[in-house]
Amino acid sequence: MFGMLHFRPAKSKDIPGLAILMAACGLYKGKKNDWIYDRLETLFSEKIFLVALKTYFFKTRVVGYYVITTLKTNLDKAEQYMHAEDKPLNKDYAYSGGIGTDPEFRGQNIGTRMKLFAERYLRQKGFKGMYVDIFVNNESSIRIQEKTGFKELCRYFDAKHRPEHPHINVVFMKKFN
């Protein structure tokens, strides 16, 4: 699709578009957009949301998102579990809480470009690096990590985060220059 693509930190006015996009990406499966909207309003003050916006014919649409948790704030249960048995995390690093691209816009390197935008944004905010934790079978996300210079730290079996769906996760890290 034609149009101009740009990236920026999300604003509260982006929440409806984020809710629609997250549902389209399969996040919060089985939940209605109103529930997702309410959840995003709650998370908006706790996490950093970055968005990719596509503008065409005077309309702007959220086509990508990136959620970031700073390690200076409280980590959610999955993030706490991931590091419960490891040495403490570097508080100058951010933690990737998820990335997604609208299914209609996949294959246009929006995820990779979102990742690079996130790195620039975090560097400007004084962060020294970033951790990423993804399902081992999420090949597209693993490719993004590799393309953007992230190095695999470890793999771990996660049966606590979702006991009904135990799986293996891969942890990546990148130190910013």
Q: Tell me how crowded residue 129 is: count the other CB atoms within 10 A of its CB.
A: 17
CA distance 34 to 65: 18
Q: What confidence score (pLDDT) does residue 3 get?
A: 79
Q: What confidence score (pLDDT) does residue 74 get?
A: 52
Q: What confidence score (pLDDT) does residue 85 get?
A: 53
CA distance 155 to 149: 18
User: In the structure, what pLDDT confidence band is assigned to residue 170 with cuts at 50, 70 and 90?
Assistant: confident
Structure tokens at 93: 């690093």
- For helices 110-124 and 139-147, what crossing angle results, to 10°? 50
For the cut 50, the answer to whether the pLDDT of residue 77 exceeds it is: no
pLDDT tens digits, one per residue of 18-33: 999 988 888 887 888 7
Conformational region of residue 3, where left means phi above 0, alpha means psi within -120 to 50, and beta covers everything else: left
Tokens 């309309």 belong to 59
Dihedral sign (CA 39, 40, 46, 47): positive
Lowest mean pLDDT among 42-46, 52-56, 107-111, 162-166: 162-166
Domains and CATH numbers, the chain: 4-175 (3.40.630.30)
pLDDT tens digits, one per residue of 108-156: 999 899 999 999 999 999 999 998 888 888 898 899 899 999 999 888 8
pLDDT tens digits, one per residue of 87-98: 556 778 888 888
For the cut 70, the answer to whether the pLDDT of residue 12 exceeds it is: yes
Query: Mean pLDDT score of the chain, rounded to an integer?
Result: 83
For the cut 90, the answer to whether the pLDDT of residue 165 exceeds it is: no
For the cut 50, the answer to whether the pLDDT of residue 81 exceeds it is: no
- SS3 for 89-142 is CCCCEEEEEEEEECHHHCCCCHHHHHHHHHHHHHHHCCCCEEEEEEECCCHHHH
